[in-house]
Amino acid sequence: MSDRVYIFDTTLRDGEQSPGVSLNFHEKLEIGLQLARLGVDVIEAGFPIVSRGDFEGVKMIAEKVKGPIIAGLARATRGDIDAAWGAIKVAENPRIHTFLATSDIHLKYKLQKSREQVLQQAEDAVRYAKQFVSDVEFSAEDASRTDFDYLCQVVERVIDAGATVVNLPDTVGYALPEEYGDFIRRIMERVPNMHKAILSVHCHNDLGLAVANSLAAIKNGARQVEGTINGIGERAGNASLEELIMALYTRRSMYEKDLGIEYKEIYRTSRLVSSVTGMAIQPNKAIVGKNAFAHESGIHQDGVLKERTTYEIMSPELVGLPKTNLVLGKHSGRHAFNERLKELGFNLNDEELNRAFTRFKDLADKKKEVTDHDIEALVKDEIWVIPERFKLQYLHFTGGSTVVPTATVGLMGGKGLVEEAACGDGPVEAACNAIDRITGLPGTLVDYKLNAVTGGKDAQGEVVLKVAVGNLTVLGRGLSTDIIEASVKAYVNAINKAAYEITKPDPDQVGGVVEANGNDDNGKNPG
């Protein structure tokens, strides 16, 4: 193979811009660490100017995630660049990613600036960022709808100013593969200093073409592709990295590009992002959907049994799908449990293992067969915890078609055990009302999903819900063989997250963080 394509992951920035997604530090860190295991080249950890939370999240990833380049996004202004640098400077390999829109439509309506002003601002921003760090990426927002000659000028000027990567996004997902490929080829041919920088692409999926457009760009000279795990992101999302990666691998004779990816981490990364963001993966989603490797038709099953490649173009094991769904039970020991955890990709420390094993034993008492899905759900439930301000001690409820549903809840907190009772439309609402009375943090249920972890009447129910507390929206998760209990645990988990976010101490060092708005706004929330 000849050259390398760099994978730039923006799950924590563009992905976090998905409607309703908001991640806390622990969740961001889990994703950041897993992206490093996956072997992505760049992690865009966030947009530090936007809020204190974003700043701190980026800073924590810069401190703790080793291996990939850590990028912080900044509009083309000094304040943004200062904040980005403040957050990423502790990284092993920091990158400032600054952007400015270049299409006439953005210049006229959003920026109210002339082409000359924007050209100058782009150059100034890159020069300014260069004072802090050698690795500077410039993105020409809405590049695919920008006047071609003008865009060439912008690209040339920012490379002269020191940009090491130039990104030409299809911000609104308007491009078509042939057209976008051709556009990249012409840029490569026309910009005289293009060889001094890496050409990057960043495609949105409004027409469902983000991956196809990115592949066309690679065919024509792009050497960095930006995208997100599971394709999450603004509106219809970004190019889905697992699809891009597997297209480049499966059709490697067409592309002849090397990647630094650890393929067997793909499935786990996808599951993690889905769990943490609460964005479910459609069953027929390529590569990581539940049905991606399932063969339903008899003819297909027969073919695969005779020779796998009759109907499978890649092996499920390659992307890390567990080979077998091994069943454990109440006689399984700690060693077998730990071995299975490792096979599923979880490396727990002793304390985490003890907690998970206790939960496993409790579950095995209630449920004859404990499957991989049960174990995965249980580890997520037990390990990914934030400090628990309130802990569910007990729950009692009554309901039915002829009585008013009532719940009594006992929560252990700073004031010891506090109990409350309340009524509601159903036992879940009754319990949530009782919890609101105890915590003094009334929540509004914005979204609620119940999923059976496995088949069977004794299956565990996993509840994922979104709760708005004031102007915060948090995700809660709960697991139990009793779905009312799972719901209540999820609600308590969400309230704990909200309490944690509301009361966590202010960081000392959040210089330059402002609310971005006003006329000099270059577009606080890019696509």
Quote the CA–CA distance of 367 and 176 in Å, as a whole number: 51
Question: Which of Zn ion, ligand KIV, none does 269 bind, CB closer than 5 to 8 A by kind?
Answer: none
- The distance of Cα 361 from the centroid of its chain, to the nearest Å, equals 32
Q: How far is the CB of 137 from ligand KIV (least distance, A)?
A: 9
Indicate if the alpha-carbon torsion angle 242, 244, 245, 248 is positive or negative.
positive
Tokens of 31: 């994703």
| Residue 226 beta carbon to Zn ion: minimum distance, rounded to whole angstroms | 8
Number of H helices, E strands in the chain: 17, 16
**Per CB under 6 A, 146 contacts ligand KIV:** no
How far apart are the C-alpha atoms of 453 and 463, rounded to whole Å? Answer: 10
Nearer to ligand KIV, 171 or 460 (CB): 171
169 near ligand KIV, rule: CB under 6 A: yes
**Interface pattern 12-31 for ligand KIV (x via CB under 6 A):** --x-----------------
> Which of the 8 DSSP states describes residue 293?
T
Q: Confirm or reject binding of residue 320 to Zn ion (CB under 5 A).
A: no
Per CB under 6 A, the segment of 126-134, 166-174, 210-218, 355-363 that binds ligand KIV is 166-174
Which residues are CB-neighbours of 109 under 8 A, at least 6 positions away?
A: none
Q: How far is the CB of 247 from ligand KIV (least distance, A)?
A: 21
| Partner interacting with residue 243 (select from ligand KIV, Zn ion, none; CB below 5-8 Å by kind) | none
**Cβ-proximal residue to Zn ion, closest one:** 527
Which of 22, 102, 121, 139 contacts ligand KIV by CB under 6 A? 139
**What is the per-residue binding string for Zn ion in 1-40, x denoting contact by CB under 5 A?**
-------------x--------------------------
**Residue 527 binds Zn ion, judged by CB under 5 A:** yes
Among Zn ion, ligand KIV, none, the one that 139 touches (CB under a kind-dependent 5 to 8 A) is ligand KIV
Helix or strand or coil: residue 137? Answer: strand
Give me the amino acid identity at 478.
G
Cα 415 from Cα 401, distance rounded (Å) = 36
157/204 with CB nearer ligand KIV: 204
Question: Residue 510 is which amino acid?
Answer: V
User: Tokens 């491009």, residue?
Assistant: 175
Helix, strand or coil for residue 355?
Answer: helix
Stretch that binds ligand KIV, among 54-62, 165-173, 484-492, 501-509 (CB under 6 A): 165-173
Q: Which stretch binds ligand KIV (CB under 6 A): 18-26, 49-57, 164-172, 186-194?
A: 164-172
Q: From 167-175, 184-192, 343-351, 513-521, give the range in contact with ligand KIV by CB under 6 A.
A: 167-175
Q: Least distance to Zn ion from the beta carbon of 427, Å?
A: 43
460, interface contact from ligand KIV, Zn ion, none, CB < 5-8 Å by kind: none
Q: Using an 8 Å Cβ cutoff, are 65 and 36 in contact?
A: yes
C-beta of residue 170 within 8 angstroms of C-beta of residue 208: no
Shortest distance in whole angstroms from residue 233 CB to ligand KIV:
8
Nearer to ligand KIV, 146 or 274 (CB): 146
Q: Is the dihedral of CA 189, 191, 197, 198 positive or negative?
A: negative
Q: Does 171 bind ligand KIV (CB under 6 A)?
A: yes
The bridge status of strand 406-413 relative to strand 416-423 is: antiparallel
Residues 66-105 that bind ligand KIV (CB under 6 A): 99
Angle at 311 between CA 307 and CA 313, to 5 degrees: 100
φ and ψ at residue 472, rounded to 5 degrees: -100, 140
Taking a C-beta distance cutoff of 8 angstroms, is the pair 261, 42 a contact? no
Q: Per rule CB under 6 A, is residue 202 in the interface with ligand KIV?
A: yes
Residues at the site binding ligand KIV, with contacts judged by CB under 6 A: 14, 99, 139, 141, 167, 169, 171, 202, 204, 526-527
